[in-house]
Amino acid sequence: MIDLSRVRGIVFDLDGTLVDGFDGIATAVNAARAAAGLSALSRGEVTSRVGRGLDDLLASTLPATEVARGAAVFRAAYDTVCERESRPMPGAAEVLPDLSARGYRLAVASNKLASYSTRILRALGLAPALAAIHGPDTAGKPKPDPAMIDACLAAMGVERERAVYVGDMPLDVEAAVRAGVGIVLLAGGASPRAALERTGERVLAGLGELATSLPQRPD
């Protein structure tokens, strides 16, 4: 497990970590399913399938013959709801500005398109604390490829040995390992806590516990 006393830079996942955007994702998935003549899925059924990007999400919720058309329907629907159907995860509105004021460098690396992440974070008032917001559209590849975490490290000006990735899924562990950074997992997101604990990595209750687990200021 990473020694949090050495951390200077924190890269966050988005959905389930900083933002609860699962309502909007479910709305857009169900728009795509409706266009294919399929019944709606529950929020929980959709949430259990998120994390690896839109192509993977649609492949798991639509017949293969409907994925291409479904992507267009999803994007059209999500474009209208992504901001209003997203809300900060508990503590996000307080923790991000607090960590920034304490001297930590902060960024976001998510498999959501950075264009959407930026809109959502701005709408929720979370963007000002961030040095960068990256996704597969800006970094070139989705997680677990390390490209977007690498881009965040460059923007923050932080060495990977002094950085931690904060996420809510076992996939985030793989991404952190491939990027050569530490990992902290937060319960309450897309994955059950038991699944997070099976990774053997540090699991915290939420953003508030993360903030109190870090030194008051980075050295």
Instruction: Give the per-residue pLDDT at 16.
Output: 95
Instruction: Give the per-residue pLDDT at 1.
Output: 80
Annotated active-site residue 55? The verdict is no
Residue in this structure with the two tokens 């993977």, named with its chain if needed: 56
* Spans of the chain below 50 pLDDT: none
CATH 3.40.1640.10 fits 4-20+86-213, yes or no: no
Residue in this structure with the two tokens 């192509």, named with its chain if needed: 55
* Count of beta carbons in the 10 Å neighbourhood of residue 63: 12
Tens digits of per-residue pLDDT, 204-214?
999 999 999 99
Instruction: Give the per-residue pLDDT at 8.
Output: 97
CATH 1.10.150 fits 22-81, yes or no: yes
Instruction: Give the per-residue pLDDT at 174.
Output: 96
What kind and span of H or E run contains 167? strand 163-167
The ranges assigned to domains in the chain are 4-20+86-213, 22-81
Residue in this structure with the two tokens 């709606």, named with its chain if needed: 40
**What region, left, alpha or beta, does residue 39 occupy, with left being phi > 0 and alpha being psi -120 to 50 degrees?**
beta
Which of 3, 13, 15, 79 is the catalytic position?
Answer: 13
Q: How far apart are CA 35 and CA 210, in angstroms?
A: 42
- 89-111 core/surface letters (b: 16 or more CB in 10 A; e: else): bebbbebbeebbeeebbbbbbbb
